[in-house]
Amino acid sequence: MADFVATGTGRCGTAHLFRVLNQVGVPATHETFFGFDRRTFGAGDRDAYRAASHNDVSLMAAPFLNTVGVPSIHLVRDPIQCVNSLLHLRIPLSADHELCHFINHFVTPEGDSDEERWVDYWEKWNRLCARAATMTIRIEALSAGEVRDEDLEPIVGTRGVVATWRELGVTTNRYHQITDVRIPPALIPRLERAGMEYGYSPRAAESADRLRQAI
């Protein structure tokens, strides 16, 4: 039976967590129970999820954390790197795409450009997650070993998640060939301020070249 759910924004590390959980023996699916077509979550859905054989790791679980009935993990990724990765998907939030339809149904990303709308999405979606999540975790803290297995064990039911997270290679960014910064410099301070809410340090003096190296 499903004991927890994990969520976050797009490009925040949910696919990596899905791989990690299965590696340590925790049955998990990725965007299966919580898919693009879900718009509601009632008592019947709650019972069906509890009866499911796998825990789902899905960005589409975010709107339902307060009704899902199980503990939840909210993953957060550095806003500059996360939004830059989203921009490399080359999907405008106004596009006729299932991801965009889902996002726009639950939040309204605002802005004069698509870059600004993706920034607004990062802010609003993480707040949607954080307000109802059992635990909010920065993926950089996982990678640095700052999160302990003792912190995660009450939710995932086993140890070894942190070590496996650090050992298992991350390939998603290389797959999308992220080699440049697509975020307009004027939006960097806004992302830095947004990140401070989750424990990220501001990097206002950092140039585009240094950002490129970080990504």
What are the domain boundaries of the chain?
5-214
Q: Tell me: pLDDT of 213 over 80.
A: no
| pLDDT for position 169 | 77
* Mean of pLDDT values over 1-29: 97
Per-residue pLDDT of 65-100, as tens digits, reads: 999 999 999 999 999 999 999 999 999 999 999 999
* Mean of pLDDT values over 111-123: 97
**What's the token pair of residue 154?**
């009450």
Per-residue pLDDT of 165-212, as tens digits, reads: 999 976 554 444 566 889 999 999 999 999 999 999 887 445 444 554
User: What value does the mean pLDDT of the chain take?
Assistant: 92
> How many angstroms separate the Cα of 6 from the Cα of each of 104, 118, 156, 180, 202?
21, 21, 10, 29, 27
| pLDDT for position 181 | 87
* Mean of pLDDT values over 145-149: 96
* Mean of pLDDT values over 150-174: 87
Per-residue pLDDT of 41-70, as tens digits, reads: 999 999 999 999 999 999 999 999 999 999
Q: Sign of the C-alpha dihedral, residues 7, 11, 12, 15?
A: positive
Structural domain 5-214, CATH architecture: 3-Layer(aba) Sandwich (3.40)
| pLDDT for position 214 | 54
Q: Which of residues 181 and 38 earns the better pLDDT score?
A: 38
Per-residue pLDDT of 127-145, as tens digits, reads: 999 999 999 999 999 999 9
